[in-house]
């Protein structure tokens, strides 16, 4: 850590992701885009980019966060059945996204497809943020949830890297939180945009791997079990 007038700044990644002040947010890993029975898969869309590239790592990080008692938050991308919350510009530019453009029943609120991916087995005490825009902060209580629980740092996983992940990370910084993006826990079906988004975020926050994070959290767990270490 280092001091600047009136503030204490975390310097190392271990300081940033300390379990005592960190949360894990999993963005938009939902049945419709990540389950073989979801909307994308049933319409012939390739979902290997999330199931093979990111999901196994997300599961490992999620398991360790739960073991350490770290706050877990799920953000759910949401569309309304009647279109009352969608704006004209949002509808116009939806076709440019990496997701399920052209699938009218994708992630409609109240449906099974809109729910957090079954395999992640969300628990009753884990907050679920319903969001209608890319950032998990816009029109949601996310800042209140984080600030009210003394959270200073947020570890970010999920999809899509260049849209909802990037937008949420930008707002984490604007709201005054440390942001740590796990490069192998975020994914996109467009490799070039995925890499571009990671490059942008690497200049603005911490970009790490799940292995590096888990090693840090493992040491934290060992210290909890044996304070004399």
Structure tokens at 56: 């196994």
Q: Is the pLDDT of residue 224 over 90?
A: no
pLDDT, tens digit, for every residue of 75-99?
Answer: 999 988 776 666 666 555 555 554 4
Q: Provide the H-helix boundaries in the chain.
A: 13-16, 31-34, 39-42, 48-51, 55-68, 88-93, 142-148, 166-174, 191-202, 210-225
Q: How far apart are CA 16 and CA 180, in angstroms?
A: 8
Structural domains in the chain plus CATH codes: 12-225 (3.40.50.850)
Selection from 211, 218, 212 nearest residue 68 by Cα:
218
pLDDT band at 130 (very low <50, low <70, confident <90, very high): very high
Catalytic residue check, 131: yes
Query: In the prediction, which pLDDT does 90 show?
Result: 59
pLDDT score for 223: 82
**Residue 71 pLDDT > 50, yes or no?**
yes
CB of 116 within 8 A of CB of 128? yes
Helix-helix angle 166-174:191-202, to 10 degrees: 10
Q: Tell me the pLDDT tens digit for each residue of 135-184.
A: 999 999 999 999 999 999 999 999 999 999 999 999 999 999 999 999 99
164 is catalytic: yes
Residue of 131, 171, 184, 205 with catalytic role: 131
d(CA 170, CA 135): 8
% of the chain exceeding 90 in pLDDT? 79
Active site annotation includes 219: no
What pTM was estimated for this model as a whole? 0.92
Contact 97, 103 (CB under 8 A): no
Give the other-Cβ count within 10 Å of 4's Cβ.
7
Set 39, 164, 185, 205: catalytic member: 164
What is the C-alpha to C-alpha distance for residues 121 and 64, in angstroms, rounded to an integer? 14
Unique residue bearing structure tokens 């040491």: 219
pLDDT mean across residues, the chain? 91
In this predicted model, what pLDDT tens digit does every residue of 25-60 receive, in sequence order?
A: 999 999 999 999 999 999 999 999 999 999 999 999
Residue whose C-alpha is closest to residue 114's, from 78, 164, 163: 78
The edge-to-edge listing of strands for the beta sheet with 127-131 is: 127-131, 71-77, 22-27, 153-159, 178-187, 206-208
Average pLDDT over residues 3-20: 89
In this structure, of 112-126, 198-212, 213-227, the range with the lowest mean pLDDT score is 213-227
Tell me the C-alpha distance between 192 and 170, whole Å. Answer: 20
The active-site residue, picked from 28, 32, 171, 184, is 28
């Amino acid at each position: 850590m280092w001091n600047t007038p009136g503030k204490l700044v975390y310097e190392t990644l271990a300081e940033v992701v300390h379990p005592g002040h960190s949360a894990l947010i999993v963005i938009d890993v939902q049945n419709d885009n990540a389950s073989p029975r979801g909307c994308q898969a049933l319409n012939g869309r390739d979902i290997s980019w999330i199931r093979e590239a990111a999901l196994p790592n997300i599961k490992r990080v999620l398991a360790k966060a739960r073991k350490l008692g770290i706050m877990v938050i799920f953000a759910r991308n949401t569309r309304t059945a009647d279109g009352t919350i969608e704006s004209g510009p949002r509808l116009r530019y939806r076709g440019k996204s990496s997701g399920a453009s052209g699938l009218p029943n994708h992630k409609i609120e109240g449906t099974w497809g809109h729910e957090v991916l079954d395999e992640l087995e969300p628990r009753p005490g884990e907050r679920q943020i319903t969001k209608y825009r890319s950032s998990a902060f816009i029109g949601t209580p996310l800042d209140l949830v984080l600030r009210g629980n003394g959270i200073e740092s947020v570890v970010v996983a999920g999809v899509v890297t260049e849209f909802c992940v990037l937008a949420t990370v930008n707002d984490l910084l604007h709201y005054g939180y440390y942001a740590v993006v796990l490069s192998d826990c975020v994914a996109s079906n467009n490799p070039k945009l995925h890499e571009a988004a990671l490059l942008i975020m690497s200049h603005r926050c911490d970009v790490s791997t799940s292995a590096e994070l888990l090693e840090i959290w493992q040491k934290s767990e060992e210290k909890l079990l044996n304070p004399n270490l």
